[in-house]
Amino acid sequence: MKKDIHILEVKDVSMAVVHEFNDTYKVYDWNVYIINDKPVDLEMVILVSKGYSEDKKTATFRKKIEVLPAKSFAKTEMLLEDVLSINNVFNLTFFQNNSLFEKSFEFRKNSINEMALQKIPLMNIKGVLRS
């Protein structure tokens, strides 16, 4: 049965980590977003994230989004400053037109920082992008 599952290449979907001001706590947070730059909706979006290094490992975090509309984005989690110094991996799985898609996005240790900020599509804000 496993041979019958065809996982297709992901295009026009990316992950961004954005440094945003938190009005409630009056501090800047690093927030993770999934960006759907496709002209179609993504269905049953599953995001599994974890951080790791040679001697550290975070808990695994899972997030489900029923539908991520075309040309939109959604905040999935906040990253604490402590995990920016380790590798952070986001495994994304979703359906589009009844086809399964899967992709892994990795932010290497210390790659999430103010110097790495760039313009993020659809969001009109700067962040660290992985496509």
Residues 20-39: tens digit of each pLDDT: 999 999 999 999 999 999 99
Residue 107, classified by CB atoms within 10 Å of its CB into exposed (0-12), middle (13-18) or buried (19+), is: buried
Tokens of residue 69, six digits: 């509309």
Query: When comparing pLDDT for 110 and 6, which is higher?
Result: 110
Per-residue pLDDT band for 9 (boundaries 50, 70, 90) equals: confident
- Mean per-residue pLDDT, 48-65: 96
Cα 99 to Cα 7: distance, rounded to the nearest angstrom: 8
